[in-house]
Structure 1
């Protein structure tokens, strides 16, 4: 069975954020991820992790002006200094939380710009960030995101992300492969897992049902099959990453965890 991390930005939203750590541990999760830690002092988050025996496995670097609609800085010309400050701040939190990886959101295409025009800025920023992260013993990740959820997002496809990783050439720059986004944009998810996991360039997986982004047991993807694919490929190639549960529960987080309880029961039987 894959190793699952609860996404505390989307799950357990019936509770205050700092109470979600205890709930995730209670429900059997050994790790957590979330979008952003910056509204809380790092020592508070560290205390929650330690108190409940949880690992922090992922969070995002500051994305610019989120409330104003910005979704990352990495591809934006003229924002390099702000991007570098965001990476430094994320690395400080990663050190405090003992988090091995940080997601660097690419950003939205500015009006009048093409992806090809922005690609050099994106690559230069990622190369700088990877160097800084390597010195701190961290990985940095890029994630293809579908343009239905985030219209105009710079990075949308798995092959594009892996081409960027190759162009940057840093061993600690990896792809965050979200199967929800992958299915919406391009499909053929099982084949892509078999293609990309053995490369060593996938640092993290995420899941959600398609199309509503609810539990993985709901929707058009057969996650029982995909989890078997992940287990099989991981056993063959030695992939040891986490699978983040980045979905919105339909009717309460605990009520929607039957899929996880069923998996655990089958593994024990």
Structure 2
């Protein structure tokens, strides 16, 4: 059956970040993921993982000034030096924390910027990151994000992301498939996952509308999770949703939908 990782950016967020590891373990999770570790000391996160027997399965490359609304800088031609310094920082954290894969957020396309320039910048940056990560024994992911939640996000559809990965041409670069974002942009969840399973390096979930836990919206997660399992997906599924009424109160979906 599917293996679920708690996304600590969104789950258990009623307590400080470093206390969420204990809460995730107490709730029965064996793995966690989160957006960024960079505001915390590596050894402190490592200690929380070890103390609670948790595996860290994913975090993101640095993505610019998050508090000011930036959602990645990989497609921005005037931020290439910053992006590449962030790759080095992310690798340092990944090697210390034992995370095997890092996700790249492409960022929002600035008004008036030539699309060909944005694409070339993103491809160059992805190639650079893939080369650096390969040397460290790590995989790189590229995630499409829906443009309803993040207006102007540059990579928003599965086919677009896969075409970019084809252009990058690196064997350690894969698709991060977020079910919620894919549902908002294109639907066809079961068929798309089946068609591209070999290229999917990580899956995340939330229901729609609302981005709450599975079972609260329109996505038939009872079917979809069994479908993913039948296809032979052996990776983790990150629970990147907003709890509708508190994290613990909403966790019963795990047993209900995969029973």
Aligned to 2:229: 231
Alpha-carbon distance in structure 2 between the residues aligned to 1:204 and 1:65:
25
Alpha-carbon distance in structure 1 between the residues aligned to 2:209 and 2:244:
13
Alignment of 1:1-269 (within 5 A): 1-197=1-197, 200-234=198-232, 239-263=233-257, 266=259
How big is each residue's C-alpha offset from its partner over 1:87-120, in whole Å with a ceiling of 9 and x where there is no partner?
A: 1111100001000011111011011024333111
Deviation (angstroms), 1:66 = 1.3
CA RMSD of aligned residues (A): 1.0
Q: Contact 2:63/2:72 (CA < 8 Å) preserved in 1?
A: yes
Alpha-carbon distance in structure 2 between the residues aligned to 1:28 and 1:245:
13
How big is each residue's C-alpha offset from its partner over 1:120-161, in whole Å with a ceiling of 9 and x where there is no partner?
A: 111011001000000000011110000111101000000111
* SS of equivalent residue, structure 1 residue 78: helix
* SS of equivalent residue, structure 1 residue 94: helix
Gaps in structure 2 of 5+ consecutive residues: none
Q: Contact 2:77/2:117 (CA < 8 Å) preserved in 1?
A: no
Q: Contact 2:7/2:239 (CA < 8 Å) preserved in 1?
A: yes
* SS of equivalent residue, structure 1 residue 150: coil
Deviation (angstroms), 1:41 = 0.1
Alpha-carbon distance in structure 2 between the residues aligned to 1:208 and 1:179:
7
* SS of equivalent residue, structure 1 residue 175: strand
TM-score normalised over the length of structure 2: 0.98
Gaps in structure 1 of 5+ consecutive residues: none
Q: Contact 1:193/1:229 (CA < 8 Å) preserved in 2?
A: no
TM-score normalised over the length of structure 1: 0.94
